[in-house]
Amino acid sequence: MEKNQNETPQHNPPSWFNWKTMAWMMLALTLFNWLLYPIIGRNQIKNTDYTSFVASVDSAQVKSVTIKDGIIYYTKPDAQGKDRYFTTTEVNDPGLVDRLLQAKSPSESGKVEFSQTPPEKNSPLLDFFLWWILPGFLFYWIWQGASRRMMKGGAGGNFLSFGQSGAKLYAEDDVKTTFADVAGQDEAKATLKEIVDFLHNPAKYTELGAKLPKGALLVGPPGTGKTLIARAVAGEAKVPFFSISGSEFVQMFVGMGAAKVRDLFKQAGEKAPCIIFIDEIDAIGKSRDSSMGNDEREQTLNQLLTEMDGFDGNKGLVILAATNRPETLDKALLRPGRFDRRVIMELPDLEGRKAILAVHLKKVKHGEIDMDVVGRATAGSSGADIANIVNEAALRAVRLGKSQVETADLEESVETVIAGEQKKGAVISPDEKRIIAYHEIGHAMVAACQSHSAPVQKITIIPRTSGALGYTMQVDEGEKHLMSRDELLNRIATLTGGRVAEEVLCHTCTTGASNDIEKATQLARAMITTYGMSDKFGMMQLEQQTNRYLGGNSTLTCSPETGREIDNEVRDIISQAYQKAVQLITEHEAEMHAAAEILLRKETITGEEFMKVLDKKN
């Protein structure tokens, strides 16, 4: 816009010149006067006791005396004849006036000049200003500033942002994530690509009467990329992206959560087509029942349900939500017309892990990487775990002075993420080290002598920061989706192999098998209560699983008598696996001694080295 040449220039005051600045300057000057000046003045006046004052009067050194508010101020000259100021506390001395009248002074008159000042009183107007007007003005100023922050919903946080959603808005050009950045979730991407296509070409669908799904619920374990794929949908569709966590709706004031929901949908309606992403929606979407006990959360959920029913899906407003606990969500939230689709994002399989690994390796310098070896070693890892593994490998390469990441760095980083860093400085006695070696060889021996068991990849007795004094790594040759009863029994036998080796070959029993016992008990109990692999109970549900994506919790759904029978069944399964491990280790005692000797000398051996020892003895 061009400036009018005839326009009279306005001389506005500087931007810093306003009433707030003046108020701060007045406050600073007042503080300076109240605090700094008395400190500076106090340095020029020396405080003395009353005895010194009387002695100075009697020795004709005092020139003047002033009594004010119970304080005696007096002056006397120093060696150079310059007056110095002193002070002391007034005491009840009836003879003070006579003493001062009779005393001599170094002044010209030869007498001490003294007087008493009556206490000063402020005027009523000044007192009214100091005690009423000034505090009221300061309070009003603070309240106005807080009110502006409430209206703007700015730096005041949730407490001051009444009615503001608090969602982060990313413009269509700000979201750079695309489906190319999401690997290992091909099924989820295929489901969400239809939503992207609908946002791009709505006419293609509306001609047939199809409606855009209002919402899609992303379900899966932590770290599987739910937030990442939601951003990728916005990046592919090139539409604004609203991101907010479910916990941000929950407020301490009744009605604030519902107000935030209304504001969020109002903003989104103005920006449509756009995408709303609500992370951890279970924070507000839990099932409404008598035990809910939070009216604010229930009101927020009711408002969310109302808003999802109220907007027109053809406008291009899509809601994506993520949760790790879908079983806790309210049924009304999951019905068609609200969250029409459920997108399952499970832990990636072997090919998915290799694809994720390739994505993250693009961000670091690397050489030739055996993707199959690393992919199999990361079984059960999420996308976030693999990203962490690649980063740990890059850090290790830097520590070792390498110019690029190698396969060995990735293999070591897998162990670092699983078991922690190596504790190379840990001091372990020779006897304990021998027991640890036989313990780990016991696991490897039982695993190697059984069919339907994963091959041994590595055996080590180097302590780790997680508390493990050693471990045996088994890696399946391929991806497994099912486990048979024999495979589970073999795994339990492998877990008992460490304790069996301690008892049979070292003639002792240590605490090193605590984690093995825990895992063996869990597997045996799951065989009976969850997998229906018990001859006694058959296909009967005895336990209910909850929080599947957060580690899982189990609750017995049977009587206490049946629970005791389950315990007996678990004990029998573990006992049979234990006897099987005793038999295998006893039959291969010579190989156990040979392998343990090599492990004690090298501290770490590969599965190939262990199998060579076993084959040589056979």
pLDDT digits (tens, 9 = 90+) for 84-139: 888 887 777 777 777 777 777 777 777 777 766 655 555 566 666 666 676 767 77
Distance, in Å, from the CA atom of 336 to the CA atom of 340, rounded to the nearest integer, reads: 5
Question: What is the rounded distance in angstroms from the CA atom of residue 319 to the CA atom of residue 30?
Answer: 56
Question: Sorting pLDDT into bands at 50, 70 and 90, what band is 196?
Answer: confident
364-410 per-position pLDDT tens digit: 999 999 898 898 888 888 899 999 999 999 999 999 999 999 999 99
Give me the pLDDT at residue 186, please: 87
Mean pLDDT for the stretch of residues 591-611: 92
pLDDT digits (tens, 9 = 90+) for 539-559: 988 888 887 777 777 888 889
Task: Answer yes or no: is pLDDT of 21 > 90.
Answer: no
Token code pair at residue 159: 């407490």
pLDDT of residue 602: 92
SS (H, E, C) 381-418: CCHHHHHHHHHHHHHHHHHCCCCCECHHHHHHHHHHHH
Q: Where are the domains of the chain?
A: 42-117, 168-344, 350-419, 430-617
Residue 569 has pLDDT above 50, yes or no: yes
Short-list 519, 503, 504, 427, CA closest to 471: 519
Closest CA to 213 of 324, 321, 339: 339
Distances from the Cα of 604 to the Cαs of 31, 356, 459, 498, 608, in angstroms?
70, 29, 6, 17, 12
According to DSSP, residue 184 is labeled S
Topology adopted by domain 350-419: Helicase, Ruva Protein; domain 3 (1.10.8)
Of 569, 568, 540, 571, nearest to 556 (Cα)?
A: 540
Q: Out of 17-21, 158-162, 244-248, 587-591, pick the least confident.
A: 158-162
- The mean pLDDT value for 474-488 works out to 85
- What is residue 163's predicted lDDT score, i.e. its pLDDT? 41
Cα dihedral 592→458→426→504 (10° resolution): -20
Fold of 430-617: Methane Monooxygenase Hydroxylase; Chain G, domain 1 (1.20.58)
Confidence of residue 575 (pLDDT cuts 50, 70, 90): very high
What is the greatest pairwise CA distance in the chain?
A: 126
183 with 194: CB under 8 angstroms? Answer: no
Of the two residues 579 and 185, the one the predictor is more confident about is 579
Token pair 């990329």: residue? 225
Distances (CA, A) of 570 to 402, 526, 532, 539, 576: 50, 9, 13, 16, 10
Are 272 and 314 within 8 A, CB to CB?
Answer: no
Query: What CATH code would you report for 42-117?
Result: 3.30.720.210
pLDDT at 595 over 50: yes
Query: Could you give the CA distance from residue 396 to residue 373 in angstroms, rounded to a whole number?
Result: 18
Packed helices 383-399 and 407-419: angle between N→C axes, nearest 10 degrees: 120
With H, G, I as helix, E, B as strand and everything else as coil, classify residue 17: coil
Give the active site residues: 440
94 preceded by a cis bond (ω within 30 of 0)? no
**Residue keyed to tokens 């695993």:** 447
Between 481 and 143, whose confidence is greater?
A: 481
C-alpha 465: how far from its chain's center? Answer: 21
Q: Where are the alpha helices (DSSP H) in 469-559?
A: 485-505, 514-529
Q: Are strands 543-546 and 553-556 parallel, antiparallel or unpaired?
A: antiparallel
Partnered with residue 460 across adjacent β-strands are 471, 604
Average pLDDT over residues 428-446: 93
Q: At what angle do helices 589-602 and 560-587 cross, to 10 degrees?
A: 90
Question: Can you tell me the distance from the alpha carbon of 291 to that of 85, in angstroms, rounded to the nearest whole number?
Answer: 76
Residue 179: pLDDT above 70?
yes
Q: Which pLDDT belongs to residue 13?
A: 44
Fold classification of 168-344 (topology level): Rossmann fold (3.40.50)
Phi, psi of 440 (to 5 degrees): -70, -35
* Mean of per-residue pLDDT scores for the chain: 81
Residue 506 to residue 434: CA distance in whole angstroms: 8
**C-alpha distances out from residue 342 to 179, 308, 338, 397, Å:** 18, 16, 11, 41
CA 204/CA 197 separation, integer angstroms: 9
Instruction: Give pLDDT, residue 144.
Output: 67
